[in-house]
Amino acid sequence: MKLYKEYKIHAARFLSKLPGDHPCSKMHGHTFFVKVLLSGEVKPENDFVIDFFELDNLFNIHVFKILDHSVLNEVDELSSPTTENIAKWVYNRLKSVLPMLSSVTVTEGGSYGCIYEGE
């Protein structure tokens, strides 16, 4: 069984590895959508793969409280906060507390994003 939950994070960043004339090299903000995909068996004691309340708590502790309304470049291990690096960072933060994690998708807009499935 697969299930997912999508979260919204507001944050600022600049992409320092880009040339100075690139608009993303300057500080700017985004609303990021983070989709967490889990795979597992339904537990007979509650008929859940995971209780969404539990998933929300884990996401809030390990991701949301750190990233929301922050400057992503100042977050440990996220000095180059590309969409790709954000997806990898979120995945790595959650995998140890959510072994059933299959992938993390991060989008900045409706037409582009990144899916990270671990290494």
**Residues noted as catalytic:** 24, 69, 108
CA distances from 11 to 33, 36, 90, 94 (A): 11, 18, 14, 19
Place of tokens 């995909």: 37
Q: Chain centroid to CA 81: how far? A: 11
- Pairing mode, strands 101-109 and 112-116: antiparallel
Backbone angles phi, psi at 41, to 5 degrees: -95, 150
Q: Which of 96, 105, 103 is nearest to 117 (CA)?
A: 103
